[in-house]
Structures are given as C-alpha cells and as structure tokens.
A and B are shown apart, each in its own frame.
Chain A
Amino acid sequence: MTINIDDKNNENQVEESSRRNFIFGSVAAAGLTIAPGVMLYQTAGARSLSDFSLSEKASSNVRWGMLVDTTKQVDWNKCVEACNKEHGLNNETHSRDDQKTQYIRVVNVKNKGTGYSMSLPVMCQHCENAPCVDVCPTGASMKRADGIVLVDRHRCIGCRYCMMACPYKARSFVHEVLTDQTENTPRGKGCVESCNMCVNRIDNGQLPACVEASEGAIIFGDLNDPQSDISQLLAKHGSRQIRADLKLNPGVHYQGI
C-alpha cells in the first residue's frame, strides 16, 4: 500500500475507509527521507497513525515513542527551528535567555576522559513513570493513555513542582504575557509547558514537527506494536534512554549515545 503525502491540506483527502493513512516510523526502514511529496511505504501488518482519529479517545493499546539516531549527520537545529515554528516559541520580548521556553534543545556531550563528543536533541522524554505527573498537585501534568505527557493549561496553577521533578530539564515556565500564539499551542503567562510530541499533529495524522525536520534521524511510531518500524529497529539495534538508571522508562530512545 502506498500513500502519497503532498501537503498538509490534502491529508484529509487520503482515504481508506474514510481514515487517513500515514505511516510513522517507517522512514528508516524504507530508507527514505520524510519530506512533503515523498512516498512512504508501510510495513505489512503495522498499525499506522491513520488508524486513530480525533473523534476517538487516545488508546492505551498504543504508546507513541521516538527513536533518535545520533550517529546521523543531521543539523539538529533544524528540529529546534521546526518545533519553534510549530508551537510559536521564541516570541518572548522581556524574558532573559534563561527564562525563555525551549521544548527541544541540542545538547553537546563530551567525554572528558576520551575526548569523544556528540550532539543530540533533548525534549520531554514522555516517561512511562513520569515524575512531573506524580508531583503535580492538580493533575494538570498528565499522561495520555497513548503515553504522551502533556500539561493541561487550564488546570496548571504555575507551582513549578513538575519542573523541580523533571530530571531532563525538559520543562519551561512562561515568564511573561504572550501574544500571537499559534492556534494549536495556546501558551500563556504563569503556566508550565513542554514538548507535547506535537499531539495536535498526531491527532490529525501528521508527524511531530521535529521528526519531519530530522531528515530521517528521528523515527516516530508505536512502541507497543511489535510490527511498527520503531519497534523493529529497537529490537534489531537496541537503544539507550537518557538516565535509564532512574527507571522512568522514557518513550524517547536514542542510538549512538
């Protein structure tokens, strides 16, 4: 089965039993680069994101995850730019640099002993046992049934305990009044926010912005589906999770770290 993704506007026109057909996590397996207008190939038997729609509740049968291949020569800043554009970030006018929101950042790591260095993108790791969800007093910090960790902006009281609890420094606090937010990311002063795996795009059958911009270096897919490309790649090549010692079981996996 082949699906042609032309552009954002015709996504909903792709039909199969009135569902959209997008394949996630298949890029590396197929050896192709994700970009508008590129043909993607679905692995036989794998569930695709198109099997889920906005009208359905997130299902616990699914666990969305990512696999970041840090060995690929990719400009990770493109992922940062795509994220900033998708969520309307970097629009603070008063905040100092250390007060500005970053959903995804490029971290440079160097082994002092050997001199080996590398870079990798770090965002919310969408932990199975998320400390931010545990500590949130109001339940604003929550994990969806499909494993995506989010902040309910209507419920967040801005206590910032989740930021204290997150071992990945993945969360930011909105330090000022913001205007011109994007429609899908209604950011507001006094609330905590972080990468939501582009839940708005996922629910619309699109890939997260950083995945799309990663030139195939970030694979997105269902970790619960053994047939999905991400699961197959993980089974074949293995992976590491950042601070795996904390046993939080992040949904974001890395190769090459």
Chain B
Amino acid sequence: MKKLHFIEVEGNTKGFVTFLGLFGLISLIGILSAYYMEHNGHWVTGMNNQVIWGTPHVFAIFLIVAASGALNVASISSVFAKTTYKPLARLSGMLSIALLSGGLVVLLLDLGRPDRLIVAMTEFNFVSIFTWNIFLYTGFMGVVGIYLWTMMDRPYNNLTKKAGLAAFIWRLILTTGTGSIFGFLISREAYDAALLAPMFIIMSFSFGMAFFLLVLMGSYKYTQRELGDYIVNRLKNLLGVFVAAVLYFVIVYHVTNLYSADHRDVTIFILAGGGIYTFLFWVVQVMMGSILPLVLLYGPAGNKRNMISLAAVLIILGGLAQLYVIIIGGQAYPMQLFPGMEVSSSFYDGVVASYAPSLPELLLGLGGIGVTLLLVTIAVAAMKFLPISLSDEIANPHWN
C-alpha cells in the first residue's frame, strides 16, 4: 500500500463553480419555500390536524438517519481497525456532519415557529425524547468534529481510535433516539413498537452508505481523480448486506404486527388496502428500493460503476418511500378512539386522512439535500478530505 496523500479540490474551476451554484440554488429554493410556508402558515401545505408531519419530515428524518450511517466507513476504519477504509474516514465524518446539517435545517424550517429556536435551545423537558435529540444532534456534530480533527491534525492522530469509538457509540445512540421519536408513541398503532429503534439503526447503515458511495464516486469522477475498483466493490458489497438487513427488519416488523390483533388493521392497511402507501411500500420500497438494488449489486454487472450508482439512487428513493410510508402512512390511518367501533365526526375521526404533498414541502425537503451537498462541495475544496488517488495500488493493502 502506497502512502496516502490528501489534497483539497481545486476551487477555481468551472466544474466546481457549477456544482457550487447548483447546490446553492437548490438550497436557496428550499429556504424560500420555507419562507413561503412560514409567512402564510401551514394551510398552504398538504398537512392537516391528522397528518401533522408531512414531506419535510420525510426528508429531514431521512437525512438525519443517513447522517449516522454515513459515519460507518470511518467507524469501520477507526473502531474495527480495517485499514482499507482509512483513506475514506475523513470524507465519511464530514459527510455525516453535512447530512445532519441538511436534515436539521429542514426540521427547523418546518416548525410552526422557527423564530423560537432559542426557546428550543434554552427550555428543556428531559422527559421528552425530542429534548434528548437536540443534545444528541448537536453533540454528534461536536464529537465527529473532534474525531475529524484527530484524523487531520498529525500530532493528534494517536487519539483517533478513541475519538472514533466515541463517535461510533454516539451515532448508535443518536439513531436510537431518532427511531424512538416514533417508537415512544402509543397513540398511533403504526409506531408503537420498540423494534423501530434498531430498525432505524440498520436503515441508517443502508441509506448512509448509499449516499456515501454516490458522493465518493461523484467527487472522484468530477475531479478526475482515480478511484479503484477494490474500494468501491468492498463498499458496494457492504451496501448490499445493509439493504438485505433492512428488508429483514421490515419483514419482522410487519409480521409481528400482523400477529398482534391490535396492530393487525393498520398493518393490513399499509400492506394491502392503503392506496398510495401500499404502492409505495411494495413497488418503491420493496421492489425498486430493496430487491432491484440487490440484483444490481450482486448481479453479473455488479462491478460496473453505473450499476452501483443506479443501485445507490434506488436505495435512496426506496428509503424515502419507506419513511413516507412509516411517517405519513402511519398518521393517515385513523386513530382508534373506540377500538372495533365505527366512528365519525366533523374532525375526521374514523377516516383515512387525505394528504398530498404540496410543492413547497417537496422543495424544502430537496433543499435539505441541497444544503448537504453544498456543505460537502465547500468542505472538499476548503480542507483535505479526499485522497489525491484511491487507485487499487493505493487503496488495496495487499497490492503487490
């Protein structure tokens, strides 16, 4: 294995400025959409008093979950001492901070009163998992920031393993916290399951790795740096394992819910009679977002970059669909005030709530992805995150 050299991406090129402008524009559109919704109030969105969290939450939670998963590569390198992944650890840490920032921007801008951020930062209710998440999210940025510092500042390299372990433990708790936002809700039958916390962890592995692979391949392609098959193929094989693991959790989650009489109706709603939610579950989440990527990644053309990219994009779309089904499908199903009875009211009790995402909601969600990519673009030009080459000769420790 040859010596590694990290170098900043040249910022004074047409390509770099184009990406900067593109991601900046997507972010700006997202922020303007948030302003529009905030200025008018949430009546301009598809949300209502039954579907309380809409499309922005789908994107926000996707990005927050993916943030934890993007740290995987660094964790494997530092905590599990796999030297193959060491060249990618800096990008992994930086991307996790960027993803979390994108997710938090969306979450914050979808608040009814985003101007009261200071209240959220100063008034705490420690019984609330949301309060804990505020600390977990900000703490994650701090811990990963220190971890990156120990990696990038030579005198502190000896602390990398410890910092990496702290970041690894922190991200597991963070994703448990994110999953618990739903797991702790007794009110809605779709959520009331302790399994959601570990399921969110495994989802983070999959979504984060898919995002990481796309950013890695994209940044090496557009900076004309060499990225060998050795590292890419290892990552894509790992990605396949994560996708299969998510599918396993999804099966266990639904089968156990089908077994319990209280949760059966909502599960049948999602799996069979839920219209758009059933379609998203089977077609986008399971077929396009899980099975097809597995075929692409492990099939005969699985080593081809465009196949890996396609699989990663499909996994991300499948992940968004999965969160849409969990978050919005779970809310659309009517709450059971009187289990087993037929109920109706002027407040839409007993009926499946209607929800259609409005354009500003979608643009705010995409804006979160824009913020993430904008931060990544700036970071790779500002600091030494990317090795100058990741050819097999450099990346493969067994290269002769």
Contacts and interface: CB of A to CB of B under 8 A. Distances in A.
A243 B272 CA distance: 27
B131 A95 contact: no
- Size class of the B contact interface (CB-based, 8 Å): 35 or more
Residue from B125, B130, B181 with most neighbouring chain A CB atoms (10 Å): B125
A30 interface: no
A44 interface: no
B153 interface: no
B113 A158 contact: yes
A133 B131 CA distance: 12
A158 B240 CA distance: 39
B146 interface: no
Contact of A99 (B42, B113, B117, B123): B42
Q: Which residue among B114, B131, B186 has the maximum number of chain A CB atoms within 10 Å of its CB?
A: B186
A106 B346 CA distance: 7
Given A137-B130, A161-B130, A176-B41, A167 B335 contact: yes
Which among B38, B53, B349 has the highest number of chain A CB atoms within 10 Å?
Answer: B349
B48 A96 contact: yes
Contacts, number: 181
A169 interface: yes
A164 B188 contact: yes
B116 A96 contact: no
Given A94-B43, A137-B120, A110 B186 contact: no
A242 B353 CA distance: 21
B119 interface: yes
Given A98-B50, A139-B123, A157-B116, A166 B43 contact: no
Interface stretch (B87-95, B155-163, B336-344): B336-344
Pick from B38, B41, B119, B337 the residue with the most CB of A within 10 Å: B41
A246 B189 CA distance: 12
13 contacts: A94-B43, A102-B346, A106-B345, A111-B340, A137-B130, A157-B112, A157-B117, A157-B120, A158-B113, A163-B52, A165-B184, A190-B38, A190-B113
Given A92-B43, A171-B49, A190-B113, 16 more contacts: A96-B43, A102-B49, A105-B346, A107-B345, A107-B347, A134-B127, A138-B123, A138-B125, A156-B112, A157-B117, A157-B120, A159-B112, A169-B349, A173-B42, A173-B49, A190-B38
Interface of A: 92, 94-102, 105-112, 122, 131, 133-140, 155-161, 163-169, 171-177, 189-192, 242-243, 246, 257
Interface of B: 38, 40-43, 47-50, 52-53, 111-114, 116-117, 119-120, 123-125, 127-131, 134, 181, 184-188, 331, 335-338, 340-349, 353-354
